[in-house]
């Protein structure tokens, strides 16, 4: 089965598309730029969602839901915000259809034109801040710590499943605070939540930092990001958290009475991750045989394939492994006994490999006699035959080992793809030959940033939190610079 995949060496982009479709994660839909997330892909997203939701609730947040449609006038209120999203808005203009009197099927009823158009949400700051105005009167009403799980629409022309689609799923946190310090602290707390999720659950190392002014979210005073490195040497922005200052509070006139009885504008943050994390997961770990899933996010962690000649043989294997299955389930491990008679064992092995199932067990009639079972791990593609007795402890430990190993491999790969560069010429050469992250000095001006982007298609991914103060010269202009920034070509 694996041979259906284009190899990463041959064509990384084609490999990715093949994998998304062949592993049953998603497919293109009848709606241009939109995808159908298939059950297996959605099961992975659900595991991500469950863990993130738990982390949000542990940090004091509650879920709410706001309308999909936003009155157009709301976008006029915050100038930078509308500027940032104007070119990718889908607009609802009418509310009724009718049969074409000339027999041409269904047409839009011209009499049903809306007085004010609605925008399908590209993000929800405007509708949420219009709502918060009614919720906030005094300091006693703060902070508000809300999150919503939703779909959004951004009219993308060049789409790619999970990485960039016109409609995608995400969560967006929107919080309101009494002081600047609280809002800044919230934005920092949430980017750390995302980093912890990326590293401990997705097994994907990330670099946290501030976006440059040009790369900030529309309407934010500061955007914090986690940047990941894919196997092909391109970066992927994997989550962002924004300190919005008082911009939205002023735009929607959201004021509160302080303890001293003064009126002040509220301070805001917003933060989000999307189904783009699915793309990050695929591209961080997978190989030419298919998906490699970290056990913590694998919908199925253990698959058991019986190898039998007769139905009687199958029944004996089923009875022999039933105790093992109960023990694994009791330990919270998802397991499936694959007794489909429509496919041969070899096909099943290849299919579980393609789908990235972390551990595969096989039991044949010889194993029955010997009291053994074959254990194969997806990350290293190695297998061993072990006594069935007590194998559940081995599998529990193995799943932890696989999780750690996948992270370790991704970290080693990324380390090789981080290069310190001082000359612009060397940067341009290495960008084409090696790729990856580059730590460079930059003079801090949008003009230099724009020049780098236009000449190389690389962008400043972030100014890393842990970048040490270091005197240097901008690689392009030679002007002084006080710390290195992270630059890469990105998805």
Torsion sign over Cα 474, 478, 479, 481: positive
Find tokens 């219009």 and name the residue: 130
* Domain 418-489 indexed as CATH 1.10.1200.10: no
pLDDT of res. 83: 86
Report yes or no: 18 and 4 within 8 Å, Cβ to Cβ: yes
363: pLDDT strictly greater than 90 = yes
Span(s) in the chain for CATH 3.30.930.10: 12-285
Q: Are strands 302-306 and 359-363 parallel, antiparallel or unpaired?
A: parallel
Summarised one tens digit per residue, pLDDT across range 242-281 is 999 999 999 999 999 999 999 999 999 999 999 999 999 9
| The two three-digit tokens of residue 289, written as one number | 């045989």
At 415, which helix (H) or strand (E)? helix 391-416
CATH code for the domain defined by 12-285: 3.30.930.10
Asked whether the beta carbons of 485 and 467 are under 8 A apart, the reply is yes
Expressed in angstroms, the distance from the first to the final Cα of the chain is: 28
- Residues facing 484 on adjacent strands: 441
For the chain, give the longest Cα–Cα distance: 83
Q: Six-digit token pair at 114?
A: 């809306």
Query: Residue 407 pairs with which residues in a beta bridge?
Result: none
d(CA 45, CA 26): 12
How far is C-alpha 364 from the geometric centre of its chain's CA atoms?
A: 40
Indicate the burial class of 340 (C-beta count within 10 angstroms; 0-12, 13-18, 19 or more): exposed
Going by their DSSP bridges, the two strands 255-257 and 267-274 should be labelled as unpaired
Q: Rounded to an integer, what distance in angstroms lies between the CA atom of residue 16 and that of residue 6? A: 9
> Which 8-state DSSP code applies to residue 464?
E
pLDDT in the model for residue 1: 45
Up-side HSE of residue 285: CA atoms within 13 Å toward CB?
A: 34
Instruction: Give the per-residue pLDDT at 2.
Output: 44
Q: Which residues face 375 on adjacent strands?
A: 361, 384
Mean pLDDT of 63-70: 98
Residues of the chain with CATH 3.40.50.800: 300-395
Instruction: Give 380-393 pLDDT, tens digit per residue.
Output: 999 999 999 999 99
Q: Which residue has the tokens 């298919």?
A: 290
Q: Mean pLDDT throughout 350-377? A: 97
In the block, residue with structure tokens 């022309």: 157
Superfamily of domain 300-395: Anticodon-binding domain (3.40.50.800)
Q: Could you give the residue range(s) of every CATH 3.30.110.30 domain in the chain?
A: 418-489
φ/ψ bin of 162: left (φ > 0), alpha (ψ from -120 to 50), beta (otherwise): left
In which band, very low, low, confident or very high, does the pLDDT at 80 lie, cut at 50, 70 and 90? confident
Question: What tokens appear for 432 in the block?
Answer: 């084409």
Q: What is the pLDDT of residues 177-215, one digit of tens each?
A: 999 999 999 999 999 999 999 999 999 999 999 999 999
Q: Rounded mean pLDDT of 362-384?
A: 97
Confidence at residue 84, expressed as pLDDT on a 0 to 100 scale: 86
Does the pLDDT value for residue 3 go beyond 70?
Answer: no
Residue 36 confidence (pLDDT) above 80: yes
CA 55 to each of CA 44, 49, 99, 399, 477: distance values in angstroms, whole numbers, following the listed order: 17, 10, 50, 22, 44
pLDDT of 480 strictly over 70: yes
Cis peptide before 143 (omega within 30 of 0): yes
Instruction: Give the pLDDT band of residue 158 (cuts 50, 70, 90).
Output: confident
| Token pair in block for residue 238 | 């994997």
Q: Is the pLDDT of residue 349 over 50?
A: yes
Q: What pLDDT is recorded for position 157? A: 81
């Amino acid at each position: 089965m694996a041979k259906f995949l284009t190899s990463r060496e041959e064509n990384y982009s084609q490999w990715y598309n093949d994998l998304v479709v062949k592993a049953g994660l998603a497919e293109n839909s009848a709606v241009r730029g939109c995808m159908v997330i298939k059950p297996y892909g959605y099961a992975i997203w659900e595991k991500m969602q469950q863990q993130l939701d738990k982390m949000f609730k542990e940090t004091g947040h509650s879920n709410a839901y706001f309308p999909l449609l936003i009155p157009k006038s709301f976008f006029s209120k915050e100038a930078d915000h509308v500027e940032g999203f104007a070119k990718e808005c889908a607009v609802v203009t009418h509310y009724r259809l009718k049969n074409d009197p000339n027999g041409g099927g269904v047409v839009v009823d011209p009499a049903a034109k809306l007085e004010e158009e609605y925008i399908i949400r590209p993000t929800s700051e405007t509708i949420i801040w219009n709502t918060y105005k009614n919720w906030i009167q005094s300091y006693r009403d703060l902070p508000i710590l809300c999150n919503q799980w939703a779909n959004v629409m951004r009219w993308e022309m060049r789409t790619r499943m999970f990485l960039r689609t016109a409609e995608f799923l995400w969560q967006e946190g929107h919080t309101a605070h009494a002081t600047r310090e609280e809002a800044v602290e919230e934005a920092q707390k949430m980017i750390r939540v995302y980093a912890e999720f990326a590293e401990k659950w997705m097994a994907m190392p990330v670099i946290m930092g501030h976006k440059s002014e040009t790369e900030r979210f529309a309407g934010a005073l500061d955007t914090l990001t986690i940047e990941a490195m894919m196997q092909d040497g391109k970066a992927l922005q994997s989550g962002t958290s924004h300190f919005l200052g008082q911009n939205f509070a002023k735009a929607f006139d959201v004021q509160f009475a302080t303890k001293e009885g003064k009126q002040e504008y509220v301070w805001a943050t917003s933060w989000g991750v999307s189904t783009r994390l699915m793309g990050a997961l695929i591209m961080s770990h997978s190989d030419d045989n298919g998906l490699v899933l970290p056990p913590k996010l694998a919908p199925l962690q253990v698959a058991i394939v019986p190898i039998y000649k007769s139905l009687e043989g199958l029944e004996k294997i089923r009875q022999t492994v039933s105790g093992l299955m109960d023990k694994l389930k009791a330990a919270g491990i998802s397991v499936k006994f694959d007794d489909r008679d429509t496919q041969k064992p070899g096909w099943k092995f290849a299919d579980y490999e393609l789908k990235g199932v972390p551990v595969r067990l096989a039991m044949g009639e010889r194993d029955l006699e010997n009291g053994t079972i074959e254990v194969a791990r997806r990350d290293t593609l190695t297998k061993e035959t072990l006594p069935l007795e007590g194998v559940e402890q081995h599998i529990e430990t193995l799943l932890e080992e696989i999780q750690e190993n996948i992270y370790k491999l991704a970290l080693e790969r990324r380390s090789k793809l981080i290069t310190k560069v001082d000359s612009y010429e060397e940067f341009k050469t290495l960008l084409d030959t090696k790729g990856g992250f580059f730590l460079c000095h930059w003079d801090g001006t949008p003009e230099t940033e724009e020049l780098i982007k236009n000449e190389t298609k690389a962008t400043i991914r972030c100014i890393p939190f842990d970048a040490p103060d270091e005197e240097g010269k901008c690689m392009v202009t030679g002007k002084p610079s006080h710390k290195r920034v992270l630059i890469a070509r990105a998805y």
